[in-house]
A and B are shown apart, each in its own frame.
Chain A
Amino acid sequence: MDKQTELDLKGLALKVREHIVRMATDGGCFIGASLSCADLIVYLYKEVLGLTPDKVQDENRNYLLLSKGHDVPALYGTLAELGFIERERLKHHLYTNDSIYWHPNRAIPGIEFHSGSLGHLLSVAIGIAYDIKLRGGKNKVYVILGDGELNEGSMWEGFLVAKAFKLDNLVAIVDRNEFQANVRTEDLIPIEPLEPKFEAFGWNVKRVNGHDYTALENAFNWIPHNESPSIIIADTVRGKGLPSIERRADRWFVNFKPEEVEQLLKELHGEAQAELTSETLMVR
């Protein structure tokens, strides 16, 4: 990857992270899972999907589905920066005058399908990918899965079925940020080792650093067309970009005070860590 492309991606991801942080107040958002996959979503939009605002209904477009759903602030931010929605609309986050809330929904241009309940969109992606194959299309379907989401039985149904139908136009990406809600995945229902599990299900598997654009480039360029679906395990850091909340089990959903947001925006730019006094949220 050339330097300029990488700089552009980093610049865009920083803006997206600023949007995420701004959505983390006045009601708040699922900040950790949004920050962990911000680089991934930015990379997909800029380098993989080829989507532009005028193509959101094009039957030959590539599809991106967010199955874990909590990461939608990263998508809202990306859509705003790339002109799919007005940046001003992000101020409507959690207001009834718009449809920008805690989970994705189709009222936002560029969002293909809603999610919120875990374990759903792999099967929806399978349906889309199957239809594309049926019509002889060349487009692909990308679906971002949470690592905690892999607890759901329906995911494993989907892994079996996608392989059975030879959907090599389907690419799943696991945002492997190591946490589910307020616990480390490995401390609850261990999911590792992941590669042999997916290999055993007949998928092509690649594991990369989900914050390294060159690694992501290599992974997305690698996807084989061999009658098997592919899965990229993107190792990420929950809360990436904000050392004060990175890998913090209690910073899953946050609702910061406005002054904390101001500090966090500076922290994103490499300044001192924010002093956070807002209550942490534990769901367990």
Chain B
Amino acid sequence: MTYEDVLKEISQQSDKLIVMTAENRAAIRNLPPHLGKRFIDVGICEQTMIGMAAGLALRGRYPITHALATFLVFRAYEFIRDDVAIPNLPVKMVGGVPGFLSDANGPTHQAIEDVALMRGLPNMMVFCPSDAEELAAGIKVLAEYPAPCYIRHNPHPAPIKHVAPFEIGKAETLSEGNDVAILVYGFLLREAVKAKEILEAHGKSVRLVNVRMPKPIDEAAVLKAARECALVVTLEDHFLTGGLHSIVAELLLKHKLAGNVLPIALEQRWFKPALLDRVLEYEGFTGKQIAEKILKALS
């Protein structure tokens, strides 16, 4: 079932669901005939979309808003903060082409500080699905969940067979191992799976943890990995500051754990715009490059 199929199904079961977009229909283009006036396209007005979503939520609706991640999070951030997070309204914000998925668009379209900004808001949850399958499973649970959530849209096919159903605040442990734990969210799970295979060929045991939700973070899964694995890797298409690495660092410090942590993230610069696979290669995020970094850290 696709993301669209799930929204269609939920909207038929419940008239509370409203699908909104700031003139970005890529993920929801087939929904208008099914939703009628519950499909709202406000035009290129991200701020108005979020304020309007708050108004709809005050009336008992569950709006799911869509725009490119950068415009949704950054252009409308103060509206998200003031009108959604402060009153804790159940508005969902689905950002298109987040992280590396903006490939050749250039820095204006690179949402690589979105997780930092959104997780910094009280009441706000953050969901970064690894693929289209996980996105569909997640939206089914989150659509009418009575709290706000930011979702990194991801239409890519699943790189692995998922072993755990989606649960709010729960990570998915895809393999057990003690030499290295790779904590990853979103699209980069695909590269992490490749890295795992290379590492295993080098005789390393790899614990692959699909974090799914940077907030609320699955504390137990992170702490377990830090306690049981020689090295913890945080892998994300996000700035080093404020994302998964920061979350793990905060958590380990809180529990007085001096973890051996290798962050793989973007340093303080935007990435080189190009087609996705070329970006990965250039920035050092292919499975092979990730495996090499980890082997170096383990040696």
Where the two chains meet, the residues of A that have a C-beta atom closer than 8 Å to any C-beta of B are 59, 106, 112-114, 116-117, 119-132, 134-135, 154, 157-158, 160-161, 164-165
Contacts and interface: CB of A to CB of B under 8 A. Distances in A.
The main secondary structure of chain A at its interface with chain B is helix
A130 B48 contact: no
Interface of B: 37-38, 40, 42-43, 45, 47-61, 63, 78-79, 82-83, 86-87
B61 A131 contact: yes
A161 B37 contact: no
A130 B40 contact: yes
Given A106-B87, A120-B82, A158-B48, A127 B43 contact: no
A24 to B, nearest CB: 26
A122 B60 CA distance: 19
27 contacts: A59-B59, A113-B54, A113-B58, A114-B86, A114-B87, A116-B82, A120-B79, A120-B82, A121-B51, A122-B51, A123-B48, A124-B55, A124-B58, A124-B83, A127-B52, A127-B56, A127-B63, A128-B56, A128-B59, A130-B40, A130-B56, A131-B60, A132-B59, A154-B51, A154-B79, A158-B51, A161-B48
- Counting from the closest, the 3 A-B pairs by CB-CB distance are A127-B55, A123-B51, A127-B52
Nearest to A132: B59
A128 B87 contact: no
Contacts, number: 89
Nearest to B63: A127
Nearest to A158: B48
Given A120-B82, A161-B42, 16 more contacts: A116-B82, A122-B51, A123-B55, A127-B53, A127-B56, A127-B58, A130-B40, A131-B60, A132-B59, A134-B37, A134-B38, A154-B47, A154-B48, A157-B47, A161-B43, A161-B52
B107 to A, nearest CB: 22
Contacts of B63: 127
Contacts of B43: 160-161, 164
B38 A125 contact: no
Nearest to A59: B59
A117 B59 contact: no
A113 B87 contact: yes
Contact of A125 (B42, B45, B55, B82): B55
A160 B52 contact: no
Nearest to B59: A131
A131 B37 CA distance: 10
B3 to A, nearest CB: 23
Contact of A124 (B45, B54, B60, B78): B54
